[in-house]
Amino acid sequence: MTTAPTTDLFAAPAEFAPRSAWSRDCSGCGACCAAPDISALAKPLGVRCAFLEPDCRCGRYDTRPSTCREYRPDWVCGEVAPLPTLEARVARFLSIYGLDAEVGTVWNGGEVSTL
């Protein structure tokens, strides 16, 4: 029996700088609660989750939907977590996936602009 190769979720694609092996846990940056759409919560793309508290922690952590429970940090977390504001993290997250134009923000290497 052969096993499928494991993929290192923290290995950045070739066009991005490598991520630190030390940053493999959730950093609590809040980007995953604000950037992607979460249909189970009727949360649109690029909009902060209504349950995301000011300290970027989940206000309903124990009862969060399976989509949130099953999310695992990956290389994108290492790319966005060091940014100073949630707005900058969300803009960078959306930029990585090519979704920034869909919500009207542009990532300019540290600056966030609204279209």
The reported pLDDT for the residue numbered 20 is: 55
Tokens found for residue 115: 């279209």
* Mean pLDDT to the nearest integer, 1-30: 67
| Whether residue 30 has pLDDT greater than 70 | yes
Q: How far apart are CA 18 and CA 87, in angstroms?
A: 23
Cβ atoms of 42 and 55 closer than 8 Å: no
The reported pLDDT for the residue numbered 58 is: 93
The reported pLDDT for the residue numbered 115 is: 44
| Whether residue 105 has pLDDT greater than 50 | yes
Global pTM value: 0.72
